[in-house]
Amino acid sequence: MSNKLITESGIVLGDEIIIDGNLQLFESMTGSELAYDTLTITVMANIFRAAFKDKNGKQVITSDGKRFILDLSRTWSYGRWIKYYHDDELKGKFYIENVARIGREKYKITAMSSVGLLANTQHYGGIYQGKAFGELVGEIIGGVVPYTVDLTLQNQPIYGWLPIASRRENLHQALFAMSASIKKDENGDMFITGLSKDTATEIPGSRIYMGGSVEYPQATKIIALSEHAYIGRASDEEVTLYNDAISADSITTPSGQVVLGGLVLFDEPCHDLTITGTTIIESGVNFAVLAPTGECELKGLKYTHTVRQITRPEIIGDITDDNKAIAEQATLVSIANSENVADRLANYYGSAKKVTIDIVQGEESTGDAVTFLDPFNEQTEGLISHLDMRISGILKSKAEIIADYDPPDIGNYYSHVQLLTGSTTWLIPPGTEKIRAVLIGGGSSGHKGENGADGIDGYNANRQSYFPPGGNAGAAGSGGKILIKTLNVEGVASLSVLCGAGNTQGDGQEGGNTTLTINGDTYTSADGTSSSIGFVEIFGGNSYGLPGIPNNTKGGHGGCPKSSAEMPGEDFTDGVNTWYGGARGAYASWTNQAGQFMERSGGCGGGAAHGSDGESGHDGRYDHLGRTAGEGGKGGDGDNGANADPAIYGMGGQGGYGGGGGGCGQREWADGSERTLALPSGGAGGQGGLGGNGAAGCVFIYY
């Protein structure tokens, strides 16, 4: 029997029933797509509507003595598997997609490989910070189809984000990041492994038809690949994810619960969800299941997402050449695995050629390495990327073979990270060929806080109803400059680093440069740039080279003589401690020699600042020393900003706190009319504090 189908229910269909068919097998060498294999086969119709005979032509009788009749709705229903054999050799395991009656005596069966079955169910994604690749694959496949994972890949940690997408799409992302492919085991089930040229088998000339073609590479000049990193911080941007009613619908949640409520999906991953108006039944970084309610508001913090582009060859600046290959949306590509991914793309686009030949199909399949004579009689070695088989007595295939392509290693390229600080020499582990060095300079000091405004004299104050403002806090210092370099270190014994100090000048000056010297070459962080989101070290899950802690408050304003209630200076609180504005100076009144009623209020109080109270206004008085309206009180001086956390290497210092505004001077009244003689001055504004110190820089070495 040349051709044979075996169904999941054990039915065998042979040559006497199979009329013709086609088998398409695929392997994407670059991982740019995850195509699925297909089987289309035409069979005689009577097996679907009459008694069935076994492969020996003998009538099948059930245990109760009745003829066995095929149940079309069960045996040939969507998702049930069938296996196709040629000359008793398994060519593929497929899952029913459709059965169509195409004539009185014919049915066409279309089926797909397990990858196709994964296209019709959803995976809800997540943030992954070191999850084992084998566990992630199990989560994505979710028991839909059987599979195994190469032990080399099983425990490889993976980092990044997957969105809500089909299981097929998210499996594609995982395979792309690990430079992995799907082959088939002895049962035809999915086997996730890598490609290799090491075990090539020969396609003899006796199985190769005349003709064929050879297509040469298009000489792509630049490979551009984006590395991604995600981290959740308390300072992340808060966004509103949903603000509406939730109806009491019966839904199945991503974890499989059946509940009443609504499913809210996010466009970007979020953490630390909060809800008002109802409760969260279940949630992930891409979704939340909410209990029914008339109205609710769901909020969350958006993950900090850093993106860095690497290229082959390495270039600096924008890529403007049209002849390039770019992979930007593969969000599981990280610093850990990007070297292998970039090498795979560069090897393929830089040298691979496609050979197309017709062969008599043997044991080889897609992804296998083969040697053969090309159409121009040259000995060639390559990997099979596509087989288009016509089902007949002799199985003929149009084979597409990618030659002159050497697949890279699978999994992560970097599996270790070393932190270097101060001035030190690092011994490169023997056998290391390439490292990724991240140089982070010392953090800048925070900027000085502004002084509070001086108070003004009583006359002007009365005219303008002026509250002398407190000074703004200084801006945070920027993080140290970051330079990332990939260095070939094969045969090099050591490297030395000198990490820049954090700046301590207190007014936004840059920290010292961090340098790395290897094999006579010196690299410096001065050639890098500061980042508003710093550098995420994915193995440890922490960020470095961050700006200082924001200080968005200003000093309290000084008092104004607009009314007696507004004459004290403004208090200042940071939520834990409170500093108080100065009080109004004492009031004085008298009758002058002309019998007029005279009064002077005390000066206005100075505004408080983070770190000190405002000074009270001076008293107004009338005594043997003379007549004096009260002067304004001085504003409080602001504290220095906080120093950077020394454990967050390259972090900037906090900006200094602003000083309090000075209190305004008071004015003199006589029978309800303002007098402008001898107007008292306002108090001086408080001094702004210095910025905090930046943290020292460091070097991370990935190897």
Kindly list the distances between the CA atom of residue 249 and the CA atoms of 28, 123, 254, 289, in Å, as whole numbers in the listed order: 42, 21, 15, 11
- Element spanning 521, H or E: strand 521-524
Decide if 339 is inside a domain.
yes
Range of the domain at 162: 118-193
Domain boundary among the residues 285, 302, 319 is at 302
List, for residues 101-128, the tens digit of each pLDDT value.
888 778 899 999 999 999 989 999 999 9
592 and 680 fall within a common domain: yes
Peptide bond before residue 254 is cis, with ω within 30 degrees of 0: no
Name the E strands within 257-352.
Answer: 258-265, 270-276, 280-283, 287-290, 293-302, 304-312, 324-327
370 and 440 share one domain? no
Residue 519 region by backbone torsions, left for phi larger than 0, else alpha for psi between -120 and 50, else beta: left
For residue 465, which of 565, 613, 589 has the smallest C-alpha distance? Answer: 565
Q: Which of 254, 287, 302 is the last residue of a domain?
A: 302
208: nearest Cα among 489, 445, 450, 398: 398
Residue 335 lies in a domain: yes
Higher pLDDT, 64 or 210: 210
Q: Are residues 53 and 162 in the same domain?
A: no
Does residue 509 belong to any structural domain of this protein?
yes
421 with 556, same domain: the answer is: yes
Count of residues in the chain: 703
Task: Using the 3D structure, point to which of 141, 168, 193 is the last residue of a domain.
Answer: 193
Residue 60, pLDDT > 60, answer no
Instruction: Tell me: do 594 and 683 sit in the same domain.
Output: yes
More confident residue, 310 or 49: 310
Tell me: do 205 and 349 sit in the same domain. yes
Q: Residue 21: inside a domain, yes or no?
A: yes
595 confidence band (pLDDT: 50, 70, 90):
confident
Q: Note whether 101 and 122 are same-domain residues.
A: no
* Structural domain count, the chain: 5
Say if residue 397 is in the same domain as residue 451: no
Strands of 392-446, DSSP E = 396-403, 417-420, 423-427, 434-440
User: Which CATH number fits the domain that encloses residue 143?
Assistant: 3.55.50.30
Report pLDDT for 67.
45
Tens-digit pLDDT profile for residues 353-402: 999 999 999 999 999 999 999 999 999 999 999 999 999 889 999 999 99
Over residues 230-235, the mean pLDDT reads 94
First to last CA, the chain: 55
**pLDDT at res. 627:** 47
The phi-psi region of residue 552 (left if phi > 0; otherwise alpha if psi is between -120 and 50; otherwise beta) is: alpha
**pLDDT tens-digit series, residues 464-477:** 688 999 999 999 99
- Domain assignment present for 150: yes
409 domain residue, yes or no: no
- 353 and 460 fall within a common domain: no
pLDDT score at 213: 96
Judged against a pLDDT cut of 70, whether residue 621 lies above it is answered with no
Judge if 140 and 16 occupy the same domain.
no
Answer yes or no: do 548 and 688 share one domain: yes
Identify whether 659 is part of a domain.
Answer: yes
Residue 55 contacts residue 14 (beta carbons within 8 Å): yes
Say whether 390 sits in a helix, a strand or coil: strand
Identify whether residues 475 and 572 lie together within a single domain: yes
In a domain, 408, yes or no: no
User: What pairing do the DSSP bridges indicate for beta strands 147-149 and 106-112?
Assistant: unpaired
